[in-house]
Structure 1
Amino acid sequence: MPEPVPSLTETGFKAPVKRYGTEGDDSLDFLKVYDPWEPLNRNIYVFNALFDNYLMLPATRTYEFILPQPVRTGVKNVISNANEVPTLINCLLQGKLTKSAITTSRLLINTTFGLLGVFDPASGAENLQRQDEDVGQTLGVWGMGAGPYFVMPFMGPSNVRDTLGFGGDTLLVYLQMMYVYDKLGVSDFRSVAYTELVVRLLNKRSNIKFTYYETGSPFEYELVRFIYTKKRELDIER
């Protein structure tokens, strides 16, 4: 049976740290990641699970109930098309010219033939698949180490470098959308920006299949930490 999400009273915001095997047991050595803040990270992991279970998932299910799948797909496509701009900036900063060309082509095709990104005709082309580059990857390409593993409140697995990168990603999106709102003559920036943020968050959660404490593994924290760390290493290498 999947392990249930612990309640606040059961944990006191202290993640249950399970011990397996004897003290010299190295059967899980391959899962080890530099995590000097593990007690804090485990507490945040439990907090994120509670936040997700009691707020984000109900909100996401409501979002999915109100908007039919074709509309949600259109929303996802529009957001993904807007995200091509920060991706392009990071491709250029990393000196990845081929990826820059692909991202530029995607942006032009989906903005025009895809009706401002509502549709995604570019993905139908063999060599125009969506690229995934962010500020954290750019910092890694520039030689910055990952630093200690860190579970970001609300956002999930990260590390010091990617937490800084998240701030950079947020700034790029903010500057981009402020420019768009200015060109569209939007006067009430704040209301529109908050609405956009909510839609982005619901869209993102709707397209993430992971659910806390439903992996069926007693080592979920270790597995999430390991998979995230290895994925980021591969993201920077490619």
Structure 2
Amino acid sequence: MDAFNTLTVIRMVSYLCEKLEEAGLTLRLLGPGRELEMIYKGARPDRIAPQKIFRDDALATSAELLDAFWLVALDRYGPAIFQACRGIDLGDRSLADHLTTDGGLYVPGNQWENNPIPEVRAAAAWRLHGVGCYFGETWFRPESDDVPGFRGKGISDLILRLAMGTAFCRHEARFMFGFCEQALAVRGIPIQYGHYQCYPHGATWTRPDGTQDDVWLTFTAASDFGDLFGGFARDRYIPQHT
């Protein structure tokens, strides 16, 4: 992206922060540490720890990993939304190469006893190179009679794009990627969140008992950034260079 488009991303990030604050949310950008640990445990008592790719010790496992950050939105009831992102610098290697050596870090959830290497059958994974950013641990607080939720109210779209804009400004990422279950992929959910390309068999992890987690690869490449960032800015009437 050139300087003009970088400026567009900065404008978009500023606009999204304002809109989320108008919705009653306070935004925090956190790295791994005690504060994040307390927020995570309070929001996700069903989880022992975050996904392996977002833990401190992941950096010692793979030389291709960059720093991780968590975008956390809080309201007067506590944590409302969070989104985790991890930068990677593949150099001349492809995303598929990375996954076939370090894919155990991306294993879904945290209930696996080991770090199995996935099988990667999506051809698109071999075409992604350079600096990217992985998105995972997307969480929205469940709605109850006493505590409001934010899913399905347009906030998720803002949060995910804010995270992507932050990832671009932080790492100058050339692609953003994640994994998605087939049931969500066929409904077009990744596209709503800014992942414009979806491919089946992005990664398949096999447990010792033979059961599998077979997920789709979802991503937005540099060629999509004009639509992701510039189009969003035009739709929201953010001033554009002419």
TM-score, normalised relative to structure 2: 0.28
Asked which structure has the greater CA Rg, the reply is 1
More strand by share: 2
More helix by share: 1
- The structure, 1 or 2, with the larger RCO (C-alpha pairs under 8 Å, 6+ apart) is 1
TM-score, normalised relative to structure 1: 0.29
